Chains A and B, each alone.
Chain A
Amino acid sequence: MKNLLKFKSSNIMLVAVLALIILVSGCAAGGEKDKQNVSGEESYKIGAVIDISGNSSSLGVPERDTLQMLVENLNAGGGINGHPVELTILDNKSDETEAVLAAKTLIEQDVLAVLGCASSGPSMAMINTLQKEKVPMISMAAASSIVEPVEERHWVFKTAQSDIVTVSNIISYLKENGLTKVAFLYMNNAYGDGGKKAFLTAARENNVEVVVEEKFEASDKDMTAQLTRVKSSPAQATVVWAIPPSASILTKNYRDLGIAALLIHSHGVGNQKFIDLAQGAADGVILPIGKLTVVEQIPDDDPQKKVLQSYIDDYTKKYNMLPDSFGGYAWDAFHLVVKAIEKAGPDRGAIRDELENTREFVGVSGVFNMSPRDHNGLDKESMVMVRIENGKWKLLD
């Protein structure tokens, strides 16, 4: 009897759970439809698919926070030409399949454009789905392959500086300082891989000899083995493509081994976390970075100065902390699409054309000049070289 009761109640519970799920998903679909009917003519819908949880959440969270702040401010100021903006932000859990499903959800909701993702893999995964449905997409990830080859990426744009932009800053620095022999170390993931391809190509073209090439895993806790090879090589400088924490560990190991060669990092270490984790070892590191980090040191006549300062002010006021360059990518993506809708109205094709015609748009990550041949639109000037001194970013001339 007891068993029988138990069996029954558990099954009833199970049915209840399933019924709840079905009910909830039914409501989800119904709810959205209602919204469309009530305000269908009034509000403009924009979607975002962001890595809020999972491996890339440190990139995605500031992007989500920036977008939430921007849409609140925009609507408080009357929206786009009087139409309020309805922004739906979905989490892709840093997963490619989830990103595709999220993109489809947004297409169902008739969004005018999709922003995202924060990282390269999920961004790549969404491209086909969005292109097939002719929905403009603005990615905030690094890999150049997101917008190239551009003839196959008709509907895709991106705001983060491509690896090539970062690399050309580093190569210029090497040439100006007469450094011709370098060691190249990179993290074994999509970010490091993109940097490696771009750097090795640029090095060949500029007669910079790569004497050591080593990689490490994002989860590695010690890079002494790779660095020992650097120490015994004739390298005059070491270029590293990584993000914290592994970038910080490498920097500590580098100082412990007393390697004399100059240490140059990529923009992947462009946040306070890198300096904090490296515990003093970061001093002397040189890197190219977006101007956001050194805003008070850039000259007042820099076209970006005002934009950067206002982003910092808004963000600090709302969240009580400084924004980082990842949030900046979201700032750019949001404003690019809002500006395009302002001109084109609620028409996906016209919005795409407007995005492609973006000229001299002053954003956080640089001054954007899109064209049918360039869907990133940023040049070398969007970054500056800095040196870390006493745990602070110091602009180099």
Chain B
Amino acid sequence: MWGKNKKYFWLAAALGFLAIPLIVKSNYIISTLIVIGLYAILVQGLGILMGYAGQVSFGHAAFFGLGAYAVAILTTHYSWPTIPALGAAVLLPGMVAAVIGRPTLKLQELYLALATLGFGILVHIAFTEGGEMTGGPSGLSGIPYLSVGGLVFDSDVKFFYLVWILLFLLLAGMNNLVRSRVGRALRAISESEYAAENAGIDTVGLKLQSFVFSALLAGLAGGLYAFYITFISPSPFSFHASVQFVLMAVVGGLGTLTGPLLGAALVVALGEVLRWAVPLVIPGAGGEYQIIFFGLILVILMVLQPGGLGALGKLLGTPAKRLPGKGADTRLLESQGG
């Protein structure tokens, strides 16, 4: 019964969410939701890579930055129209991921994390050292607003609809993806690469595809970020940001579809709430206290809910899309026909 109605439940929830700007007139809340949406697009891709393909990347801020810089450079230096620039922002990180993915994804676990970390640092240096092209450490300003035909995304509300409709479409697509043969094969890889390979799954190929897919999404998020803030410099694309993205994915819950969204929402919202709440509790406290509270709350959360926020889905009656145990593993692999 629930199974059939579930689709309508989520559709209603999405439509309800999109009605927020009709009720909430606060630009601040809308812009916080935009930032959450942008990060969620990126973390959805990272979630596929980490939760389903079982690979950790500490270099996603670099793909995010490549997308943002592609938009900034093409629109300011070369006066490209905004839509082709956004297209380039998606494709460029995907291509870079395809090139570096081959050798990198042969590495496993910690070594892969280290390789992506190195890549992230390299790209960050390139942004800083790019001279006139990237604006160097001072960054690039004067990025135009995104426009499609006559529609210019120059207000928070318009941008809110753009980001969240894209995100909901992405979620619907990914819902299908993780249930497909590909999705099952990916989960098999995350449990045991050797077993998956023995079952006839092209592990390297699939890992590469999910790496490229996550980079495409990071590029999309980066391109949209540049159009939203209209100024970029190297600092939002540092190693620190990569760590934050991994944190969002983990806090949200790996191997779940709603996890990345919840993780991005929690990390951004918590930061905003603490900025307001901490000075009330400790008058005159600087941001350093916020960071302590931020860390504390995250630790408590992970202790209480190791599966991440995505596991909350259980309360709503939708079992988290997590593998129950080894027994299910074999069944999955069998269903791959391996």
Write the residues of chain A forming the contact surface with B, with a CB cutoff of 8 angstroms: 10-11, 13-15, 17, 21, 24-25, 28-29, 52-54, 57, 61, 64, 68, 90-91, 93-98, 100-102, 104-105, 107-108, 120-121, 124-125, 127-128, 132, 143, 145, 152, 188-190, 192-194
Tell me the minimal C-beta distance from A39 to chain B in angstroms.
Answer: 18
Q: Roughly how many angstroms separate A68 CA and B231 CA in the complex, as a whole number? A: 30
Indicate if B26 sits at the interface (CB-CB under 8 A): yes
List residues of chain A with CB within 8 A of the CB of B141.
124, 127, 145
In the assembled complex, the CB of B118 is this many whole angstroms from the nearest CB of chain A, namely 17
Shortest C-beta distance, B237 to chain A (Å), equals: 10
Verify if B157 is at the interface (C-beta below 8 Å from A): no
Determine chain A's interface SS by DSSP, over half rule. helix
Q: Which residue of A lies closest to B32 (CB)?
A: A101
Chain B residues within an 8 Å CB radius of A145 = 138, 141
Q: Which residues of chain A are within 8 angstroms of B236 by Cβ–Cβ distance?
A: 95-97
Q: Does B177 interact with chain A (Cβ within 8 Å)? A: no
Q: Is there an interface contact between A21 and B286, defined as CB atoms closer than 8 Å?
A: no
Q: Is the beta-carbon distance between B273 and A24 smaller than 8 angstroms?
A: yes
For A9, the closest partner residue in chain B by CB is B304
**5 interchain residue pairs of minimum CB distance:** A53-B287, A91-B287, A10-B304, A104-B28, A52-B286
B309 cross-chain contacts in A, Cβ below 8 A = 14
Main secondary structure of the interface of B (DSSP, over half): helix
User: Are A105 and B28 in contact (CB-based, < 8 A)?
Assistant: yes
B157-173 contact mask (Cβ, 8 Å, vs A): 1 or 0: 00000000000000000
Chain A residues near B35 (CB-CB < 8 A) = 97, 101
Q: Is B255 an interface residue (CB 8 A)?
A: no
Taking a contact as CB atoms under 8 Å apart, the answer to whether B138 and A193 are in contact is yes
Min CB gap A164→B, angstroms: 15
Given contacts A128-B229, A193-B138, whether A21 and B32 have CB atoms under 8 Å apart is no
Contact indicator B137/A192 (Cβ below 8 Å):
yes
CB of B310 to closest CB in A, whole Å: 11
Contact present for B27 and A108 (CB under 8 Å): yes
- Cα A49 to Cα B269 in complex, Å, equals 18
| 10 A-B pairs (CB sep. < 8 Å) | A10-B305, A15-B312, A24-B273, A25-B272, A28-B277, A57-B288, A91-B286, A91-B290, A188-B137, A190-B233
Q: How far is the CA of A132 from the CA of B309 in the complex (A)?
A: 37
Complexed CA–CA distance, A159 and B136 (Å): 24
Q: In the complex, which of the residues A28, A91, A105, A125 contacts B231, with contact meaning CB atoms closer than 8 Å?
A: A125
Could you tell me if A90 and B138 are in contact, using CB atoms closer than 8 angstroms?
Answer: no
Can you add 12 more A-B contacts, CB < 8 Å, to A15-B315, A95-B235, A121-B138?
A13-B305, A54-B287, A90-B275, A95-B236, A101-B32, A124-B231, A143-B138, A145-B138, A188-B128, A190-B139, A190-B233, A194-B138
Residues on the B chain within 8 Å of A91, using CB: 275, 286-287, 290
Interface presence of B276 (CB below 8 A):
yes
The residue of chain B having its C-beta at the shortest distance from the C-beta of A55 within the complex is B235
Known A14-B312, A97-B229, A121-B139: A57·B287 in contact at CB below 8 Å = yes
Bitwise, B300-338 to A at CB < 8 A (1) or not (0) is 110011000100101100000000000000000000000
User: CA of A104 to CA of B291 in the docked complex: distance in angstroms?
Assistant: 21
A24 CA to B272 CA, complexed, in Å: 11
Q: Which of B26, B156, B272, B305 contacts A11 (CB 8 A)?
A: B305
